[in-house]
Amino acid sequence: MSKTTLRRRTFVAATIAAVTGTAGCVAGSREGAGGTDTAAAASTTTSTESHDDGGHGGDEEGHHEENTHHAEETETSHDDGHSSDHGHGVPEEPSASATVNLVTTDEGYHFDPHVVWVEEGGTVTFHNESGSHTATAYAQANDKPQRIPEDAAAFDTGMLTESGAEHEVTLDTPGVYDYYCAPHEAMGMVATIVVGKPDPHDATGLAEAQSSLPSGAREKIHGLNETVNGMLGHTH
Ligand SMILES: [Cu+2]
């Protein structure tokens, strides 16, 4: 398959998700009006069960209202799979550099924080805190669906096995980058880097999760998209 073909497919998926809202969410394995309840039941945790009251105030927002609702729910539910308090500090603006810890705990595996935001040309340092992990971009070059900008380098730290091991990547292309841990992707060890000030309507990494991805990863991506849309003010 050519890169061009993949890009077209990705774009179509993104467009459908943006236009249809709810339909895109259903396709992403969250069904019905249950919202976070359904998502929690389908994932490995029950930590979000009590958050169905998350401020579903106005339906006056227009064609992207579903995105708005999901963004609101995300404020309380994006920690799917992890019950600790990490990751709640969603960045408010890009910084020159960021560090992401790769962590194994009794509760599971995760990137901490889940979302970082750096300037164009900024760096992200992956720091292996515990366990063995990778940070691998969702990209065709890594034999995965494309969830980073088409013209961006597809980073892959390779397996980091020693505590304290680090791998730094430089991100020159603005956009939304989703990445995963190779051994723990199916358990939802997936996270996002935002670079610069991308247009949320045209960000590959904000498309609905591809159906070929494991359900644990799709659930995580759904929540990450909500978080990033909120972060980028994509609530019109
Ligand atoms: Cu891992």
User: How large is the average pLDDT for residues 78-84?
Assistant: 39
Answer yes or no: are the C-beta atoms of 118 and 171 closer than 8 Å: yes
User: How large is the average pLDDT for residues 210-221?
Assistant: 97
Q: Which of 72-86, 113-127, 153-167, 222-236 has the lowest mean pLDDT?
A: 72-86
pLDDT band at residue 88 under the 50/70/90 scheme: low
CA of residue 105 to ligand 1 center, whole Å: 10
Compute the distance between CA of residue 225 and CA of residue 85 in angstroms, rounded to an integer: 19
Answer yes or no: are the C-beta atoms of 70 and 24 closer than 8 Å: no
Place of tokens 């705990």: 105
CA of residue 179 to ligand 1 center, whole Å: 11
R_g of the chain computed on alpha carbons = 16
pTM for this predicted structure: 0.64
User: How large is the average pLDDT for residues 167-180?
Assistant: 98
CA of residue 102 to ligand 1 center, whole Å: 7
Compute the distance between CA of residue 139 and CA of residue 33 in angstroms, rounded to an integer: 32
Q: What are the structural domains, with CATH classification, of the chain? A: 3-231 (2.60.40.420)
Compute the distance between CA of residue 207 and CA of residue 137 in angstroms, rounded to an integer: 15
Neighbours of ion ligand 1 (CB under 5 A): 109, 133, 181, 184, 189
Compute the distance between CA of residue 116 and CA of residue 196 in angstroms, rounded to an integer: 11
CA of residue 109 to ligand 1 center, whole Å: 6
User: How large is the average pLDDT for residues 80-89?
Assistant: 45
CA distances from 160 to 10, 128, 136 (A): 30, 6, 11
User: How large is the average pLDDT for residues 3-9?
Assistant: 40
Look at residue 65 in the predicted model and tell me its pLDDT.
41
- In the chain, the percentage of residues whose pLDDT exceeds 90 is 59
pLDDT score of 20 more than 80: no
Look at residue 72 in the predicted model and tell me its pLDDT.
39
Looking only at the bridges linking them, the beta strands covering 115-128 and 190-195 are: parallel
pLDDT band at residue 151 under the 50/70/90 scheme: very high
CA of residue 103 to ligand 1 center, whole Å: 7
- How big is the CA angle at 113 (ends 111 and 114), to the nearest 5 degrees? 65
